[in-house]
Amino acid sequence: MVEHSTWFSITRLWGEHPWVTSILIFLPLYLTWIFFLRFIVLPLAPLRVLAWNEALAKPDSSTDVEVAVVGSKVKLPLKNLFKNLSLLGSFHSHPIVLRAWVEMHIDSALEAFQNLPTVESRRTFVALPVFLNGKARSSLTPTDLQNICLRDRWCLFIKGEGGLGKTTLACRLAFWASARDPAERICRDRRMLPILLEPEVGFDVRSDVKTFNRELQGRLQQFLALKYPISENLFERLLRDRRILVILDGLSEMSLKPSPDAARLENPNFPVNALIVTSRDDSIRRDLTIEPQRIDSNHLLSFINSYLVEAGQTQLTDAELFDASRRLANLVSMETGITPLLARLFAEQSVFLQKQNAPLQWLPRTVPDLMLAYLNDVNRNGNETDADDPRQ
């Protein structure tokens, strides 16, 4: 009898005050859904929120409903209506969702990045003196970059002559950006997926924003080996939120054809908010300039020793290391120092001779001999059908 009376009262109230009754009934349900979405689904299953949004974003005319408005029929996209009313759309690009997406894919992305020939050949890294915006540093660490990388939009510019290790340093910054330990990252509050673009990319990186954006999206798709393309909306949010680190290596050697819609930092439509550029000239606006320095006579021995240790080659004795450093110093003028490239090639030749049980007296005595020995070593197992050596 009580249930019948309660139902009668509700139906009577609905008939007399339909809007008030609807609010009283559906508002608690709606608030419960919002609480469930924000405090349960989003923290515990953020990728489920992304999947729901991606499904609702796909166009589907079969779900549209026709509504009569002022004597005419108007189609309402039911998916978009539900997405907006349920507030799912407001959580599509939530930082929790983006972080979960990056964490799910970062291992495969790093593996693909490490297997790039450019990155593979520069795995061994030795910290060297640099200038940061004109101020000398004995070596570069993630801590030196963390204040800059906390900004919503930044560009690190690695400048210098050929052979100073600009690309090697850029690759090291990419590994720092993706490190698990926040203290070892250049951006403490997030991990980033690296994408490398080189001069041989095959298109003009400054031709237009759309081409540039499409190339980046394709590179990430290839890195992750995903079955389905990454949605443009998700990719844009990853770029804007600095979840993707873009490296433009050798910008001064890339084809440049400025246009009104050029892909440059000054363009407000430029999509990349975390950017590293290596170049031999001042051709871009930046927030921090990093200038690697040549190796002087005081750091030559420590460089060769550190390089061999990092590369896992410790066969040389202290006397042999000193002798190798002395021979290297005789190759070039130590007044201006030598480039890390030459020092690295010399160290690798030392290791090669050691593996062959050959005396260190066979080490190259001139820079041309050093380059020739390096090319002979690289092509020792090559075939006549192999392609020419890429740009080093």
Q: What angle do CA 128, 129, 133 make, to 5 degrees?
A: 130
Rounded Cα–Cα distance for residues 212 and 203 (Å):
9
How far apart CA 230 and CA 52 sit, in angstroms, is: 15
217 pLDDT tier (thresholds 50, 70, 90) = very high
Supply the pLDDT for residue 155. 92
More confident residue, 204 or 192: 192
Q: What is the pLDDT of residue 69?
A: 53
Indicate the pLDDT class of residue 255, thresholds 50, 70 and 90.
Answer: low
Q: What is the pLDDT of residue 82?
A: 67
- The Cα–Cα gap between 184 and 177 comes to 8
Percent of the chain with pLDDT over 70: 76
Domain chopping of the chain, boundaries: 2-91, 96-292, 300-378
Q: Which residue shows structure tokens 């081409």?
A: 211
Q: How does residue 314 score in pLDDT terms, banded at 50, 70 and 90?
A: low
pLDDT over threshold 90, residue 345: no
Domain 96-292 -> CATH class: alpha beta
Helix, strand, coil percent values for the chain (each to nearest 5): 50, 10, 35
Which comes out higher in pLDDT, residue 207 or 135? 135
The pLDDT, as a whole number, for residue 390 is 45
The per-residue pLDDT for range 322-336, each reduced to its tens digit, is: 777 777 777 766 567
pLDDT tens-digit series, residues 30-42: 888 888 988 999 9
Higher pLDDT, 312 or 214: 214
Q: Please give the pLDDT value at position 258.
A: 59
Lowest average pLDDT, out of 55-69, 91-105, 183-197, 231-245, goes to 55-69
Which is higher by pLDDT, 317 or 199?
A: 199
pTM for this one? Answer: 0.81
CA 49 to chain centre: 24
Mean pLDDT of the chain: 80
Pairwise pLDDT comparison (149 vs 356), residue with the higher score: 149
Tell me the per-residue pLDDT of 262-272, one tens digit each, with 9 for 90 and over.
667 777 778 89
Q: Is the pLDDT of residue 307 over 90?
A: no
Question: For position 1, what pLDDT does the model report?
Answer: 43
- Of residues 302 and 98, which shows the higher confidence score? 98
pLDDT digits 0-9 by tens, 165-177: 999 999 999 999 9
Model pLDDT, residue 20: 63
Instruction: Provide the pLDDT for residue 111.
Output: 94
Q: What pLDDT is attached to residue 205?
A: 72
Name the more confident of 326 and 391.
326
- Residues in Cβ contact with 190 at an 8 Å cutoff, skipping those fewer than 6 apart: 99, 102, 241, 242, 243
CA triple 183-108-100, angle to 5 deg: 60
Among 96-100, 161-165, 245-249, where is mean pLDDT lowest?
Answer: 161-165
Residues 13-38, mean pLDDT to the nearest whole number: 73
Checking if the pLDDT of 11 tops 80, the result is no
Is residue 205 within 8 Å of residue 248, measured between CB atoms? yes
